[in-house]
Amino acid sequence: MKLPTGTRQPDDKQRLNEQNILLRVSQAIISTMDYEEVLQIITDGVAELLGIETAAIYMVENRKEIFLGATTPPLDPGMPDELRRAAIQDHPHIRTAIEKKHLLVIEDFSNAKLSEAEKKVRDLRNLKSIIYFPIIQKEDVLGVLIMGTQTSTREFSDYELHLGQNVANQLSIGIQNARLHNDLSEKNRQLEEEISERKKIAEALKTSETHLSNALRIAGIGHWEYDVKKDLFIFTDEFYEIFHTTAEKVGGYEMSSERYAEQFVHPEDRQMVSQEIRKALESKDPDFSNAIEHRFLYADRAIGYMIVRSRINKNEAGDTVRIFGANQDITATKVSEKMLLRAVDKAEESDRLKSAFLANLSHEIRTPMNAILGFSGLLKEKDLTEAERENYLDHIQSGGQRLLRIISDIVDISKFDANILKLTSERINLNKLLDDLVRQFSLRLPGEQVELRAVKPLPDEESFIFTDYTRLSQIFSNLLENAIKFTRKGVIKVGYKMDDGDPVLFVMDTGIGINKKNHELIFERFRKLETGQEMINTGTGLGLSIVRSIIDLMEGEIKLESEPGNGTAFYIRIPGLADRSDEKPVAMKSVKRIAGKDLTILVAEDEVTNYLYLEALFMKHEFRIIHAKNGREAVEKFRKHPDVDLVLMDIKMPVMNGIDATREIRDIDPAVPIIAQSAYAMAEDKREALDAGCNDYLTKPITIERISDSLNKFTV
């Protein structure tokens, strides 16, 4: 016997189903006063909740015996009495759960050490695995909720045990409510049958209140009666305790219906309460009873929730002369119910957004793929003009870049969810970063009516900052993508301003603007504003969510200023950006300079198509290319060819990866330039490659411009 260590966690749909089941069980317990029906609701609900074959509730009687309150599925009438009533001592596992007041799990019931009575139960119900949940009310154990499997043994996770115990806790409330309701009904019936005179009624009420007082306080129930002729409520101390006050503070135990409504009933529910009282007065049914929920006011005017149960007393003429009732504070239950409802709504909204995202993602991927495949096919046509060929290639390249952005967004979101995204810090030139961004994004402007400007208040030699270059560039890039998408005319500014020695980053545009009610909405995942304009229909709806996640990771803040028709401005503050040191930029590691022509380049690349692409890039130059298909082969060919001028090293390769291969080549030649090339785009991946001995890092896909820039760093 042991507590399992399973870690199963439900997915969104399973959690939504479980929340709906718990909500249904909770509402049924509140509204159902029949004792046996409450027990049956629980056994049916828990079997459905945990996906098990059988469940049962045994109630404790006289601390020595247990009796079967409910079971799922119901027992066959021919089942022996051992399954219906037994001595606690004959069932040691039930006794253990009761005495220790703690759940008990037996994963393999067929091989457990059992008493004779337990063996009969096991064989009759064909039990494989079993859990005992004690049903605890205050310090007393009311019974045991038992759940078992019949088809096979099963290991229960901590999450499932937590769900089961929650149900057992709910059950204790339902049992107490049902018992109290039965007690109240029985007392009122006895009062109606035995008392005919007012003096006897008062004496009987006093006796009844004495018997029920402790139980009512435990359950948070207050009793009252209403004299119809006098329009007078008579309350008890337990009633006032619900409202966190006393009879002394409110002026006594009697109160008119009007004063009661003003003092205790929520203003918006007073009419509904009045209508329910009128129903009781006008009813011709001598056994009329009712149960309603409404909001009430605590003594400090805070809002709570209660359920009011009542029944009437008629005279010989058939007129209603009294109403007896009990109020129960269910605020805690209602709060839990609202939380469940919000969780259900959130789960449904998340499911809806994800479905919309997947549909949109399909569109986003197919659109550039259509251009890539379509224009690739057109390139095969003969007699194409040079202008047509260049136009087709531009479309293919644009589609590829768009696909890359989609993949990058999805990967980043996954890393944020897994909490594995790490930041690095390096000394970078902010002015140079802004110039690079303007040069890159100027090619994407929608037309000559939009201008992109960099705002750089500091001279280049004073614009050094410390931050994660990759992530800061990603923040600016996503905001610029957004600005270009929404701006058809005017100016887009990207830059910074100084505030008390610290740079405040910004991206501003003169686009369509954003309604204030959507300022927070646009940072949510999968959200895209619907303005009816075709230009904003592209995108995954992840860009701004990624921006905020990165800024949160940097412990910074982002501020949005925008209104329809007046453009948009994003302001970003990131602590620790300012470079207050006197140190100069870090120089490149010692590396030999190489001639720009007649180079011998060792290309380590396991993918044939990637190698052929690199070979094609170098075809225009008089370079000698040596191909290695894995890291081990790269090291061996470097030893064999001491005339290698430069190494282009893929990171992910079979046999030996690029990191280990770089370290071994560095042991052979500490100064040969090594350029890493990888599909890994994270800053930590770049740092690992540089620490291993690489001199530069190129992220795939590699363009001729980027590899040329990298080669120029090492040539003379």
Domain harbouring 355, CATH code: 1.10.287.130
Does residue 583 fall inside a structural domain? no
Contact 281, 228 (CB under 8 A): yes
Q: Per-residue pLDDT for 226 more than 60? A: yes
Q: Per-residue pLDDT for 289 more than 70? A: yes
As a whole number, mean pLDDT of residues 208-230 equals: 74
Q: Per-residue pLDDT for 536 more than 60? A: no
Confidence tier at 209 by pLDDT (50, 70, 90):
low
Gap between the Cα atoms of 321 and 312, Å rounded: 8
| Cβ-proximal residues to 626 (8 Å cutoff; 6+ apart), any chain | 600, 601, 602, 603, 637, 641, 644
Q: Please tell me the predicted confidence (pLDDT) of residue 526.
A: 63
Q: Per-residue pLDDT for 691 more than 70? A: yes
75: DSSP letter: P
Q: Please tell me the predicted confidence (pLDDT) of residue 195.
A: 61
Q: Please tell me the predicted confidence (pLDDT) of residue 219.
A: 66
Q: Per-residue pLDDT for 211 more than 80? A: no
Gap between the Cα atoms of 286 and 465, Å rounded: 84
- Report CA 236 to chain centroid distance, whole Å: 45
Q: Please tell me the predicted confidence (pLDDT) of residue 4.
A: 41
Q: Indicate whether 170 and 24 sit together in one domain.
A: yes
The domain containing residue 450 runs over which residues?
Answer: 422-573
Q: Which two tokens stand for residue 212?
A: 């029920």
Does residue 517 fall inside a structural domain? yes
- Report CA 226 to chain centroid distance, whole Å: 49
As a whole number, mean pLDDT of residues 277-305 equals: 88
Gap between the Cα atoms of 145 and 339, Å rounded: 25
Does residue 545 fall inside a structural domain? yes
Q: Per-residue pLDDT for 68 more than 80? A: yes
Higher pLDDT, 76 or 580: 76
Confidence tier at 716 by pLDDT (50, 70, 90):
low
Confidence tier at 2 by pLDDT (50, 70, 90):
very low
Q: Which two tokens stand for residue 412?
A: 């980043």
CA-based angle 613:661:425, to the nearest 5? 85
Gap between the Cα atoms of 209 and 198, Å rounded: 16
Of 295, 329, 363, the one marking the end of a domain is 329
Confidence tier at 545 by pLDDT (50, 70, 90):
confident
Q: Per-residue pLDDT for 534 more than 60? A: no
Q: Indicate whether 62 and 32 sit together in one domain.
A: yes
Closest CA to 29 of 8, 44, 10: 44
Q: Please tell me the predicted confidence (pLDDT) of residue 419.
A: 74
Of 372, 390, 417, the one marking the end of a domain is 417
Contact 65, 84 (CB under 8 A): no
Does residue 110 fall inside a structural domain? yes
Q: Per-residue pLDDT for 286 more than 70? A: yes
The fraction of the chain above a pLDDT of 70, given in percent, is 85
| Cβ-proximal residues to 263 (8 Å cutoff; 6+ apart), any chain | 250, 255, 297
Does residue 655 fall inside a structural domain? yes
Q: What is the CA radius of gyration of the chain?
A: 38
How many CB atoms are located within 10 Å of the residue 372 CB? 18
Q: Per-residue pLDDT for 78 more than 80? A: no
Q: Per-residue pLDDT for 6 more than 50? A: no
Does residue 344 fall inside a structural domain? no
Gap between the Cα atoms of 461 and 425, Å rounded: 19
Question: Which residues on neighbouring strands pair with residue 663, listed in sequence order?
Answer: none
Q: Indicate whether 464 and 563 sit together in one domain.
A: yes
Q: First-to-last CA distance in the chain?
A: 75
Of 148, 177, 206, the one marking the end of a domain is 177
Q: Indicate whether 33 and 153 sit together in one domain.
A: yes
Q: Please tell me the predicted confidence (pLDDT) of residue 640.
A: 95
CATH number at residue 619: 3.40.50.2300
Gap between the Cα atoms of 44 and 56, Å rounded: 9
Q: Indicate whether 46 and 122 sit together in one domain.
A: yes
Give alpha helix (H) positions in 195-330.
198-219, 237-242, 247-250, 257-264, 270-282
| Cβ-proximal residues to 384 (8 Å cutoff; 6+ apart), any chain | 378, 392
Q: Indicate whether 24 and 116 sit together in one domain.
A: yes
Q: Please tell me the predicted confidence (pLDDT) of residue 602.
A: 94
Does residue 534 fall inside a structural domain? yes
The fraction of the chain above a pLDDT of 90, given in percent, is 25
- At what angle are helices 683-692 and 658-668 packed, to 10 degrees? 30
Q: Indicate whether 550 and 497 sit together in one domain.
A: yes
436: alpha, beta or left? (left if phi > 0; alpha if psi -120 to 50): alpha
Q: Per-residue pLDDT for 96 more than 90? A: yes
Q: Per-residue pLDDT for 586 more than 60? A: no
Of these ranges, 368-377, 438-447, 489-498, the one predicted with the greatest mean pLDDT is 489-498
Q: Per-residue pLDDT for 531 more than 50? A: no
CA-to-CA dists, residue 195 to 25, 187, 201, 325, angstroms = 39, 11, 6, 18
Contact 38, 178 (CB under 8 A): yes
Higher pLDDT, 553 or 576: 553
Q: Indicate whether 19 and 164 sit together in one domain.
A: yes
pLDDT tens readout for residues 112-145: 899 998 898 888 888 999 999 998 887 888 899 9
- At what angle are helices 631-640 and 658-668 packed, to 10 degrees? 20
Confidence tier at 683 by pLDDT (50, 70, 90):
low
Q: Indicate whether 437 and 501 sit together in one domain.
A: yes
Q: Indicate whether 153 and 212 sit together in one domain.
A: no
Contact 505, 478 (CB under 8 A): no
Contact 570, 506 (CB under 8 A): yes
Q: Which two tokens stand for residue 521?
A: 């909405």
Q: Please tell me the predicted confidence (pLDDT) of residue 223.
A: 80
- Total tally of structural domains belonging to the chain: 5
Contact 321, 313 (CB under 8 A): yes
Of these ranges, 250-264, 337-351, 595-609, the one predicted with the greatest mean pLDDT is 250-264
Higher pLDDT, 528 or 322: 322
CATH number at residue 297: 3.30.450.20
Gap between the Cα atoms of 264 and 240, Å rounded: 10
Q: Which two tokens stand for residue 225?
A: 């009666």
Q: Indicate whether 108 and 165 sit together in one domain.
A: yes
Task: Give the DSSP H or E segment for 54.
Answer: strand 54-61
CATH number at residue 455: 3.30.565.10
Does residue 101 fall inside a structural domain? yes
Q: Indicate whether 412 and 432 sit together in one domain.
A: no
Q: Please tell me the predicted confidence (pLDDT) of residue 31.
A: 67
Contact 308, 292 (CB under 8 A): yes
Contact 602, 638 (CB under 8 A): yes
Asked whether the CA dihedral 322, 326, 327, 333 is positive or negative, the reply is negative
